[in-house]
Structure 1
């Protein structure tokens, strides 16, 4: 027979309660320093600083927190300006700084930021994020280019001038420039002087119409803006590319040689691509020139393809088909209709119907999953979906997200009656 469980004795006085609480607190205080840093780093900086009132042992524990994040959570009930808070934190901080992030909506470009960056360049800092939400662009001081321990750099609404003495960020692995003003030569100089760069994001760069990228170690790339041309050097490690020509390029760009194509130019040096995403007018850019049957090299590693597409454009459809046929490992394909004028939509239906009839014998054996987002139910879109159903013998699932629910039932019935090359293909409307 088990002995009765002993009841825990509860403290009877306020003094005993306080002692019990302090004993529990001391257990946390005795944790290893790196674990304490992890705990404090997960708190907003204002809460981390408040731990200084817990006890004498905790008074300066926050001062060695390696991640300093000053965002909209960093506010003061006493109305203390964000600049004053940052000044005091940096003044009292000890040890290396892994991350310094300034992303406060009340923060404008000012000389205060110059002082903080000067301080950072004198200590070991691995990551700097500067998001200037309002006012004029912030001009990056030359002191930032002396931060040789940087692994990640992210700038938003900044003006960048590369100093002549800048020799590069030798260990930088990630660079993110969004709504940044700099010249094409400065952009190329900055990228080329980061030999270990693995991730690169370029979005909305003022005045940049052409982008040339060649970084031997690059693995992930996102390029977005009012661009006219993109060129890639030899990048044998690049696995993921997202391109977004945000403006209608019209006839403003493209190869001068009639025998050349943007498709050939883009893929001649990208042998290991696994993921491709073409937003807005990017596919229109690729379709400029005589669309070939295949790219210069088969995309033997490509597994995922996303594309905005004008289903009235024979050139864009041929370009997508070229990419799919040249990708033996491609399993998942996503499409989003690119909006065009309604009067254009009715002018090419006859031509597109002939096109689909000519390509009925095409076979897309490798494709297993297809998604269509923003499906409007136009005849060219419907013909395209029917073509995919009849040309994909190993298709497992097709997901369609209509632009509206109007007429959804009729479209679904028509697709369910369509012939399918795959007996296991499932068509889902969401």
Structure 2
């Protein structure tokens, strides 16, 4: 290392980011210490400041280290800190930072949140940020932020907030391309109007009865968990869509046209049948469809899926390449009349992979007919995976059905496998 030119040594050492490693490198030699001034990232893990030197607090250590860097680009702090400590760091490097990641851990600290400038308020000093990631966020009032003109990514994980505060945050970030809000509490209704937003991932805790309105003509990827009402009027560029609700029901989905949709995931205990039909009708161009919805029904009573015509379904989704189908939807395709209207020229033109989860031996004959039909009409089918999940029965029907599936697998062993 001693024979390396200064520029190469700086390039190598600038890739070190862990605060402990940086501190060790500073102790090697004067030349190394001078090279460490050019690091771009500083990372303080959760317990990195537990054993600081006598007479120096953890926050003073962070301040000393960030103050020595010529131009810090990325600051990551997962160790505990106060709002005054954060303010002192950002007063030194706030204008040079493009990425900031903080573990705030202030969910249980509501009293101090209202007593003075909060940690969130201090973030406003880093006004040139391009990426902001926060963990453990309490936001019961609007943070004192100006507009972040350069911010393109905002991620908040483990959040308790009030709706007006969230509105104010989004107004401060008008040019976001990516917005992630996970483990969110306190919100019943959310309206997102961000004209440049391309990726959005939302996860709401609670009863699963939130409502969402998202307006962005550029949205490409949307993942939503915990919403009963979803409205996305401008969806012409949407390629990836995932809707799930593990605690409540999905009552309404309202989208514009979905000509670019390639991946659709539908999950949850209960969806209204109108919502299922509407989204499947709009997703006529989808290439990968994942369906794990257990029941339908508009009210409290859980109802099975009505019959779904096998031919109509695949004719309505001619570009489908991969189909993950679970329980209820597979049963709906296996009703007595589902294969009644098969024309001689019918084909499933693009289907290459099918993953089927079977949970019940009921209607075993119809289910076997459906499996055989997928093989027969899916001329490009390369893989069929049959998953046997928690199949219960008080008589021999489950064993007989499993025997039929094993026989089916044996006859088509190049394509079919059982898990």
Tell me the TM-score normalised to structure 2 length: 0.71
CA RMSD, 1 decimal: 4.1
Following superposition, the deviation at residue 127 of structure 1 comes to: 1.1
For the structure 1 residues 134 and 233, does the alpha-carbon distance in structure 2 shift closer, same or farther, using more than 3 Å as the test?
closer
Following superposition, the deviation at residue 98 of structure 1 comes to: 1.2
Instruction: Please give the secondary structure, in 1, of the residue aligned with 2:215.
Output: coil
Q: Is the 8 A contact 2:264 2:290 kept in 1?
A: yes
Q: Is the 8 A contact 2:162 2:186 kept in 1?
A: yes
Partner of 1:244: 225
Q: Provide the rounded CA distance (Å) in 2 between the counterparts of 1:159 and 1:397.
A: 47
Partner of 1:315: 272
Q: Is the 8 A contact 2:52 2:58 kept in 1?
A: no
* 1:366 is the counterpart of 2:319: yes
Following superposition, the deviation at residue 396 of structure 1 comes to: 4.4
Among candidates 294, 298, 307, match of residue 356 of structure 1 = 307
Following superposition, the deviation at residue 191 of structure 1 comes to: 1.1
Partner of 1:66: 40
For the structure 1 residues 274 and 418, does the alpha-carbon distance in structure 2 shift closer, same or farther, using more than 3 Å as the test?
farther
For the structure 1 residues 356 and 298, does the alpha-carbon distance in structure 2 shift closer, same or farther, using more than 3 Å as the test?
same
Partner of 1:11: none
Q: Provide the rounded CA distance (Å) in 2 between the counterparts of 1:378 and 1:153.
A: 47
Partner of 2:257: 298
Give the alignment of 1:39-78 within 5 angstroms: 39-41=15-17, 44-72=18-46, 74=48
Partner of 2:338: none
Partner of 2:174: 195
Following superposition, the deviation at residue 308 of structure 1 comes to: 1.1
Following superposition, the deviation at residue 140 of structure 1 comes to: 2.3
Tell me the TM-score normalised to structure 1 length: 0.69
For the structure 1 residues 329 and 31, does the alpha-carbon distance in structure 2 shift closer, same or farther, using more than 3 Å as the test?
same
Partner of 1:429: 418
Partner of 1:277: 242
Deviations 1:250-288 (A, max 9, x none): xxxx5xxxxxxx5xxx24222111001122349932x44
Among candidates 78, 103, 108, match of residue 136 of structure 1 = 108
Q: Provide the rounded CA distance (Å) in 1 between the counterparts of 2:311 and 2:294.
A: 23
Q: Provide the rounded CA distance (Å) in 1 between the counterparts of 2:408 and 2:256.
A: 34
Give the alignment of 1:360-399 within 5 angstroms: 361-363=312-314, 364-372=317-325, 375=357, 377-378=359-360, 390=373, 393=378, 395-399=381-385
For the structure 1 residues 372 and 68, does the alpha-carbon distance in structure 2 shift closer, same or farther, using more than 3 Å as the test?
farther
Instruction: Please give the secondary structure, in 1, of the residue aligned with 2:241.
Output: strand
Following superposition, the deviation at residue 132 of structure 1 comes to: 3.3
Give the alignment of 1:226-245 within 5 angstroms: 226=206, 228-245=209-226
For the structure 1 residues 326 and 415, does the alpha-carbon distance in structure 2 shift closer, same or farther, using more than 3 Å as the test?
farther
Following superposition, the deviation at residue 126 of structure 1 comes to: 0.8
Q: Provide the rounded CA distance (Å) in 2 between the counterparts of 1:128 and 1:143.
A: 12
Give the alignment of 1:184-223 within 5 angstroms: 184-223=163-202
Q: Provide the rounded CA distance (Å) in 1 between the counterparts of 2:362 and 2:193.
A: 38
The number of residues matched between the two structures is 363
Instruction: Please give the secondary structure, in 2, of the residue aligned with 1:31.
Output: helix
Following superposition, the deviation at residue 152 of structure 1 comes to: 0.7
For the structure 1 residues 206 and 326, does the alpha-carbon distance in structure 2 shift closer, same or farther, using more than 3 Å as the test?
closer
Instruction: Please give the secondary structure, in 1, of the residue aligned with 2:135.
Output: strand
For the structure 1 residues 335 and 323, does the alpha-carbon distance in structure 2 shift closer, same or farther, using more than 3 Å as the test?
same
Following superposition, the deviation at residue 320 of structure 1 comes to: 3.6
Structure with more of its chain in strand, by fraction: 2
Deviations 1:313-334 (A, max 9, x none): 5734x53454334334311122
Among candidates 124, 133, 142, match of residue 96 of structure 2 = 124
Give the alignment of 1:142-161 within 5 angstroms: 142-160=121-139, 161=141
Q: Provide the rounded CA distance (Å) in 1 between the counterparts of 2:360 and 2:267.
A: 15
Deviations 1:44-76 (A, max 9, x none): 221122112333211232233111111137356
Q: Is the 8 A contact 1:324 1:330 kept in 2?
A: no
